[in-house]
Chain A
Amino acid sequence: MSARAVRRMSFGQATVDAMRLAMREDERVFVLGEDISWGGNFGQFRGLVDEFGPERVIDMPISEAIIMAVAVGASVTGLRPVASMSFVEFTLGAMDEIVNQASKFRYMFGGQVSVPLVLRASDGILRSSAGQHSSSLEGLFTHLPGLKVVAPSNPADAKGLLRSAISDDDPVVYLENKRITAKRGPTPTGDHSVPLGSALIRRTGSDLTIVTYSAMVREAETACRRLAPRGIEAELIDLRSLVPLDLETVVGSVRKTGRVIIAHEAWEFGGFGAELAASITSHAFNRLRSAPVRVGAAQAPIPFSPPLERAVVPGAEEIVEAAERLMKP
């Protein structure tokens, strides 16, 4: 592919770019959600209503079930809706529509219909948003057959994965972490797609593998920089897409390094990391030098007060500690 123009833009802007490209290219694409004609809570819809009008950029009542049900009804009758919930916790008001309708329609109806919708939701902690606006719930979605789940870590992937999610014929849950929405990074200005199900090795290393995604990728990058001077070279895998999962890249790396840390902002107990640990163990057991280590949130609702929030949700420091423990002879 030829060299392409790249510009620094925020994660939020990158998603607006992807939306605009998709909506220009395909008139079946429309967006519905709370406050979106005002740009959304994180600017992730800024300007769309000016270009595409209120018919395709629909402000919805704070009725999460209807947002999702409308997306399902529109998607099975020929459109490609992008439904937005400001906070991932709000998807819980639409769980019937997500679980019983969107994820099951294709299978339950014998494959006669596809459900090409995208559900965008912001997750993770940001400046003490407290218990009901700070969770990372990807584990609820990855558990469900029929749903795809992506969680980009940077603006370029945010754009590329959103493009792919909108073109995909199945329901895709697109998780955008609040802490990284405003973060800027080099992003292709033209059309740009990242296929679903392709992980990226962001840093190579021979001592251990860190498998992570979303905001935790930045924490892991910081951890890698701190570990290198101590003689620990970590390989960093950004999953980007949880379902479908690029297990091949993960297992390939772990077979090389023999050690793995799985890090996510979501609760460790019963989280997606548990699935990764089990899959890695069954595919690379004979190459593992020690048991996979998980770094995730402690088993409590996310607290409000900053020191408590910090105590529950892990970051670079916890990844560094885990790496050092793993590397102890």
Chain B
Amino acid sequence: MKPPAPMSREAALRIHRTMVRIRLFETRVEELFKAGKLPGFVHTYLGQEAIAAGVCETLQSDDYITSTHRGHGHAIAKGIELDGIMAELYGKETGTCRGRGGSMHVADFSKGMLGANGIVAGGLGIAAGAALSARLRRTGQVVVAFFGDGGINKGTFHEALNFAAVQRLAVVYVCENNQYAQFTSRTRTTSVDDLSVRAGAYGIPGWTVDGNDAGAIHETTLRAVERARSGMGPTLLNMETYRLGGHYVGDAEVYRKAAEVDRHRLKDPLDRWERTLVGEKWITEEQRAGLWEQARSEVSDAVRFAEESPLPGGETALEAVFTGG
């Protein structure tokens, strides 16, 4: 297979914009949650922005993704408007799921976002089903299944990869290896250090990528997506990153030292991508500042939209259990 063409400036800037939007959205969500504005609980994507942004940049708008409990970043990267996501987090009628789903179930099927999923590895088989569907409908769509290093130890990971491999389905399995499965370090629960070797058990390629390097993520995913689209089957990508926040906002993080987190802050994927953009002279300081300002105002607009939106009426609580109901 041909090596992918070098990334265009436009693609690099789109990835940057997505990362900034995710960073500011999640930072704001953290503040809102701590201020008691959001019901339930939230898992933020802080520190992993390069993955959603880099991966989704390789997809077409009608391609599918399945997501996880830590799914806001995926939703933003797949093109769901911030308003709808934020309103969903507020439990408002104008949310992507009319407030029925919340943070862990943000979805927009019209954008190919087949749902954040609160069950670890819950999306892996669904992604295979969507890929099978794309084959039967002859649409050429590709599916990306995001999951974490916790998900790689679920039975559904094995069932899904085996099936996707045997059927040569157009799925890219993206493991966001953020080092912690809930509170427990990956090193205490997982039999192998390099998670990509698990691909070998299914006879498919497994590639490890620096999950804080947006350029490497984009390039590697592009190869996997091209393989998928050309009928060569699934690929497992192990993207090594680090969860800068706790498992959820408010997690006391007793299982790791602050110094460890600080060490990883130095490898912040967004800082790193900005240094690359500046180094390549793809962006000026003025453009960079302007983009942050614009994203900040988009997030503020989303918060305003969410706060001004109506809550669902209790009388609608039984709607949509069944079709037509």
Binary B-proximity of A47-62 (CB < 8 A = 1, otherwise 0) = 0000000011010110
B interface residues, Cβ below 8 angstroms from A: 64, 66, 95-101, 105, 107-110, 114-115, 117-119, 122, 124-137, 155-156, 159-160, 162-163, 166, 319-324
- Smallest distance from the beta carbon of A74 to chain B beta carbons, Å? 4
What residues on A are CB-neighbors of B134 within 8 Å?
77
Segment of A104-112, A180-188, A289-297 engaged in the interface with chain B = A104-112
Q: Tell me if A76 and B114 are in contact (CB < 8 A).
A: yes
Most buried by A among B107, B132, B160, B322: B322
**Does A206 sit at the interface, judged by CB under 8 A?**
no
Give the residue of B101, B109, B110 whose beta carbon is less than 8 angstroms from that of A108: B101
Q: Tell me if B122 and A70 are in contact (CB < 8 A).
A: no
Q: Tell me if A65 and B114 are in contact (CB < 8 A).
A: no
Q: Tell me if A69 and B97 are in contact (CB < 8 A).
A: no
Give the residue of B97, B99, B125, B137 whose beta carbon is less than 8 angstroms from that of A112: B97
Q: Tell me if B129 and A107 are in contact (CB < 8 A).
A: no
Give the residue of A58, A63, A79, A109 whose beta carbon is less than 8 angstroms from that of B137: A79
What residues on A are CB-neighbors of B322 within 8 Å?
106, 146, 148, 169-170
Q: How far is it, in angstroms, between the C-alpha of A170 and the C-alpha of B322 when the chains are bound?
A: 6
Query: 17 interchain pairs (CB within 8 A)?
Result: A61-B163, A65-B155, A65-B156, A65-B159, A70-B163, A72-B125, A75-B129, A79-B136, A81-B129, A101-B122, A101-B126, A108-B105, A109-B97, A110-B95, A113-B107, A146-B322, A169-B324
**Does A73 sit at the interface, judged by CB under 8 A?**
yes
A244, closest chain B residue (CB):
B322
**Does A321 sit at the interface, judged by CB under 8 A?**
no
Asked, given contacts A63-B163, A79-B137, whether A108 binds B130 with beta carbons under 8 Å apart, the answer is no
A interface residues, Cβ below 8 angstroms from B: 30, 55-56, 58, 60-61, 63, 65-66, 68-79, 81, 96-97, 100-101, 105-114, 116, 145-146, 148, 169-170
What residues on A are CB-neighbors of B117 within 8 Å?
101
Most buried by B among A61, A77, A114: A77
Q: How far is it, in angstroms, between the C-alpha of A81 and the C-alpha of B132 when the chains are bound?
A: 11
Q: How far is it, in angstroms, between the C-alpha of A66 and the C-alpha of B321 when the chains are bound?
A: 24
Q: How far is it, in angstroms, between the C-alpha of A61 and the C-alpha of B133 when the chains are bound?
A: 18
Q: How far is it, in angstroms, between the C-alpha of A68 and the C-alpha of B83 when the chains are bound?
A: 33
- Smallest distance from the beta carbon of B231 to chain A beta carbons, Å? 14
What residues on B are CB-neighbors of A148 within 8 Å?
322
Q: How far is it, in angstroms, between the C-alpha of A58 and the C-alpha of B135 when the chains are bound?
A: 13
Asked, given contacts A65-B155, A73-B128, A76-B130, whether A110 binds B162 with beta carbons under 8 Å apart, the answer is no
Q: How far is it, in angstroms, between the C-alpha of A110 and the C-alpha of B95 when the chains are bound?
A: 9
Q: How far is it, in angstroms, between the C-alpha of A68 and the C-alpha of B127 when the chains are bound?
A: 12
Give the residue of B95, B100, B130, B324 whose beta carbon is less than 8 angstroms from that of A73: B130
- State the 7 A-B residue pairs at the shortest beta-carbon distance, nearest first: A73-B129, A69-B125, A111-B320, A110-B98, A110-B97, A70-B129, A169-B323
Q: Tell me if B129 and A145 are in contact (CB < 8 A).
A: no
Q: Tell me if B100 and A109 are in contact (CB < 8 A).
A: yes
Q: Tell me if A113 and B109 are in contact (CB < 8 A).
A: yes
What residues on A are CB-neighbors of B66 within 8 Å?
73
Q: Tell me if A73 and B114 are in contact (CB < 8 A).
A: yes
- Smallest distance from the beta carbon of B146 to chain A beta carbons, Å? 14
A111, closest chain B residue (CB):
B320
B171, closest chain A residue (CB):
A73
Q: Tell me if B133 and A109 are in contact (CB < 8 A).
A: no
Q: Tell me if A111 and B319 are in contact (CB < 8 A).
A: yes
Q: Tell me if B321 and A145 are in contact (CB < 8 A).
A: yes
Given contacts A109-B101, A109-B105, 19 further A-B contacts (CB under 8 A): A55-B136, A61-B166, A65-B156, A65-B159, A68-B125, A69-B128, A74-B132, A76-B109, A79-B136, A81-B129, A100-B118, A106-B322, A107-B100, A109-B109, A110-B100, A111-B100, A112-B96, A112-B109, A169-B324
